[in-house]
Structure 1
């Protein structure tokens, strides 16, 4: 276990060879490194609130330790927030990256069982070394979606949730990307040819990443191992963009705006110590409209929550952790005491 330090926190690098991810269809590595940020002056066996931090599409948890221009890394941010009065926590930064760029933090026969890996395998491993008093999960973009669905699928694990620009309102956040993505995919001769070309290419244009994201989403939301060309169904035809309603409904069943209409989900969200979500007013994927609709639905269902729109877009928004982390820490410490 390697360790790096700030003046308040230590970053522990924990490597696990996953049983859950063994023999995954994409051939992705089973050995993953998770970063655990823990206060230097508190022994690992003393229970503390633990916050799991889920990255967006193409992200790995360890990347939060990078020093990017004009931005703090996560270790420095956590240290500063602690100096500013935030109660101590432990933060866990996992790696759920795949050859297709992500996993949506769900189980899929194509990308792999990442919900099982995270919560049934990795979590007990981490907690065998770092004691926990209460748990929360926070994420950005696909990670914001992952935070919400993780709480819905494993409600017994979590007491608080924060989602920054989380995927929702799929008809406006996903469908507009299909036409150009399909053109890029077809330019390489089809899905498998595109994936091969993508992985070979050193410079990956944003249009190619957007196309890969569509493939990744299909692999997660509508896998089909009986398909010969690629083991997933797509909600729009490649030649005419006509919609296959049955496939689209498989995607839509995961849209948080549909999930929240379920009484079971309403009960789960109502029981949280904190439900926080936000989006930028100029989000390129129209997620501000999804966040506003979710806010309106939660008001209708009388579910306590905090909702913010801020002047920003979808990218370079790590500063939003300044809002969510203290709220989550306070909620978990309030529950503890």
Structure 2
């Protein structure tokens, strides 16, 4: 048991050194992360719902948040497109509201730049939203448990054309992974500063290799100890793009990353852009001035939500009658 504890300790210390913030999508100092409020936000407001769903894949209740469009509570006959949004590491479903994303979406709607759709945010812990080699099955929790739950509980369109995956950092990776693996379920995907690794992380090159320690510790948690290259490839957006090229040509794809991303995820995102280009897969990619995290997402909110709305609005044009049909 000592080697396992030692590895976990190295991994944890690597995180503390490398992050210096609340996590892969946070901006607060490490000391503030300990003080992150654990009390839930109000269970229901005009814009937000907070609750839990049962995940058979995880064997427990999982918290979630839902952003409701302005007319949702006053127009019970309407049904709406759905965005599933995945948060980053050391964040949770409440960060959508408290980091200002809901306010940004409200402002875009007030200016008439985007229309109405539901956003559902499940709590993903630090899972990277995969079915881990030696851990929990978060991909299944999203696809098999959360999506059906949301579409049964809320008035969604319930069609591929009316669904979109999105996420930030770890969640950007998760959104690409799930959309690329299940393109039959989603019309599109939008990812911000996605945590894309270009190769299997290798063991650290000595005690001073802090970045290597962090990357390798994370890889052993997700892809096996030691990391299994084949399993890594099965969960790499770069590999999935090549294996799923024909299907991905029918998927609307948007992703952006900051040119000053402190984790150098600009490298992985640019590699994905080059891969998609070489395969002739249409997509929108922006390397923008900025760093990593929620501030970058807010700076890109007009372009990103504009993409989401353009993609989902086609579902309303294609099935206008269903959009107004009462859900049984």
TM-score, normalising length: structure 2: 0.73
For residue 167 of structure 1, report the CA deviation from its aligned partner. Answer: 2.4
- C-alpha separation in 1, matches of 2:215 and 2:52: 27
> What is the alpha-carbon root mean square deviation over aligned residues?
2.6
- C-alpha separation in 2, matches of 1:126 and 1:213: 34
Q: 1:63 aligns with which of 84, 92, 95?
A: 95
Q: 2:54 aligns with which of 17, 28, 38?
A: 17
User: What is the aligned length?
Assistant: 267
CA contact (8 A) 2:70 2:116 kept: no
Report Cα offsets for 1:267-305 as digits up to 9, x if no partner. 221102x21111111222322222222222222222111
CA contact (8 A) 1:33 1:94 kept: yes
Q: Which 5+ residue runs of structure 1 have no aligned equivalent?
A: 23-29, 68-72, 186-206, 223-232, 236-246
CA contact (8 A) 2:85 2:167 kept: yes
Correspondence for 1:323: 303
Compared CA separation, residues 15 and 282, structure 1 to 2 (3 A)? same
Correspondence for 1:75: 102
Q: Which 5+ residue runs of structure 2 have no aligned equivalent?
A: 1-41, 318-328
Compared CA separation, residues 169 and 217, structure 1 to 2 (3 A)? closer
Compared CA separation, residues 116 and 45, structure 1 to 2 (3 A)? farther
CA contact (8 A) 1:277 1:307 kept: yes
- C-alpha separation in 2, matches of 1:159 and 1:125: 19
- C-alpha separation in 1, matches of 2:136 and 2:76: 31
Correspondence for 2:250: 271
Report 1 or 2 for greater relative contact order, CA contacts < 8 Å, sequence distance ≥ 6: 2
Query: What SS does the corresponding residue of 1:179 show, helix, strand or coil?
Result: coil
Compared CA separation, residues 95 and 128, structure 1 to 2 (3 A)? same
Query: What SS does the corresponding residue of 1:4 show, helix, strand or coil?
Result: coil
Compared CA separation, residues 297 and 219, structure 1 to 2 (3 A)? same
For residue 212 of structure 1, report the CA deviation from its aligned partner. Answer: 6.5
Correspondence for 1:261: 242
CA contact (8 A) 1:164 1:277 kept: yes
For residue 137 of structure 1, report the CA deviation from its aligned partner. Answer: 0.8
Compared CA separation, residues 311 and 35, structure 1 to 2 (3 A)? same
Is 1:49–2:81 an aligned residue pair? yes
- Structure 1 residue runs of 4 or more that deviate by more than 4 Å after TM superposition: 210-214
